[in-house]
A = this chain, B = another copy of it.
């Protein structure tokens, strides 16, 4: 069943070798590096591409979504059906796309077979085909942006960047680490010769070291950044030789369905079995858990709720489980040089995608001496930033889930209202839910660390996903640190922001970040936000606190996915 790459395609892979070398250097240096253009401009993506994407997006609606693996199999009598009632984003007209459903067990069997022949390619060939897939995904960025915008509620520019260029860059980063991990092993056969003293020749063995992916992977996509959070696992698996079944969030299927479609097209073009990457859907979402256990899926990647992530970590003992779950991100404000710059930076952090980035701050700890000044500046910055409805929509996007609206209501009960959340009308979708950030003050001054009020404890330990923000007034920065640490310990976090002009406080911040394994941003006051995690440079998460057990692009993320066999033979 060996699948060979068509001769005419071999040359086109060579150009990717250069990219591969660039990527390997980029992940080593972790300085600024960009692979794909992040600006949604036809100057980079080709004239007419925007309009073409819009037409393509419209043409997808109310049709049956096909995959190359199914087209190939139509003649073979392969059975599949189209899912009638796929969930749709709230408040928007239905897309009405019917997705192909195949028996999940059968997909595993197909994936295993596809893996067998894929593993026979050279590592570099796998990496270069994976890079070709990334290139083709990138070319479809306008379409991807539309699909991400529609399904997740992201504002358009973010959907283009995080859904397109930044996602493929993250994929490329994991791809590079996976390739590097395999390259660390001695290539081909080595000779091991152990001296046996003067009178005897050395004891000789021939040895080979073979990297074997642990099995078929299941990648469970999230509802907010379906491509960004899935591409690292998809491309790590591809290079390491593992097949992936991609299970999108039921309301956010299209971006990952397009990903699978494009990837399969490339695989077919390169003579490979497209079932190496497939779309995994369930008629009832509850079937997923039983499926993962029964099929003994070896590699599971998940981004989503703490409840489900923790279930996976606890129950799938047979698997390597990689999770990014919810956390409670904190910012600590000790001191600053430029109040307005800090407020503007934070206002943008809180507004972008209405706080639905997993990296956006929820709790801002401010020592009382600067509390009112900071709060007023932040209010002003938010009001200024979001004054114009059109601009507000372009920053806020839409609230994806009704749960975020409920979180706003709950937040109102926990402290003193300092800035109400304004409901904004969406210019296109009147039923869409758009809310500006809500600022709630919680005074922690009376509370000793051991004696938190119930409300304070709630905001320290619970994620309020969406635009609810708590400003916690503390006695001093020491107090801020101790409350932030309690929160990090209990809930984990992906980010911690600290503003200080005091060297000692800065060191305390670094020490806190080390103890609680959280990424730290210091004194950000320009366009760089604590929310942003730059491809090839920032690691996303650390895997060391309750917000998740992995960083998406590290050597640890790839090394756990395969074992190494020693094959030794009498020489």
Contact = CB atoms under 8 A, between A and B. Distances in A.
B568 A520 contact: yes
A133 to B, nearest CB: 25
A519 interface: yes
Contacts of A556: 556, 559-560
Contacts of A32: 192-195, 202
A338 to B, nearest CB: 10
Nearest to A314: B317
A192 B526 CA distance: 14
Nearest to A556: B559
A562 B517 CA distance: 9
Contacts of A539: 209, 564-566
Given A32-B192, A32-B193, A570-B523, A563 B544 contact: yes
Contacts of A534: 192, 194
| SS class, residues of chain A in contact with chain B | mixed
Count of identical protomers in the assembly: 2
Contacts of A542: 212, 563-565
A186 to B, nearest CB: 5
A543 B195 CA distance: 30
A28 B184 contact: yes
A522 B190 contact: no
Interface in A524-567: 524-528, 533-534, 537-539, 542-544, 551, 554-556, 559-560, 562-567
Given A30-B186, A510-B567, A520-B567, 16 more contacts: A28-B184, A32-B193, A32-B194, A32-B202, A192-B537, A207-B537, A209-B539, A210-B513, A212-B544, A513-B567, A519-B568, A520-B565, A538-B568, A543-B563, A554-B564, A560-B560
Interface of A: 28-32, 181, 184, 186, 190-196, 202-203, 205, 207, 209-210, 212, 214, 310, 313-314, 317, 510, 513-514, 517-528, 533-534, 537-539, 542-544, 551, 554-556, 559-560, 562-570
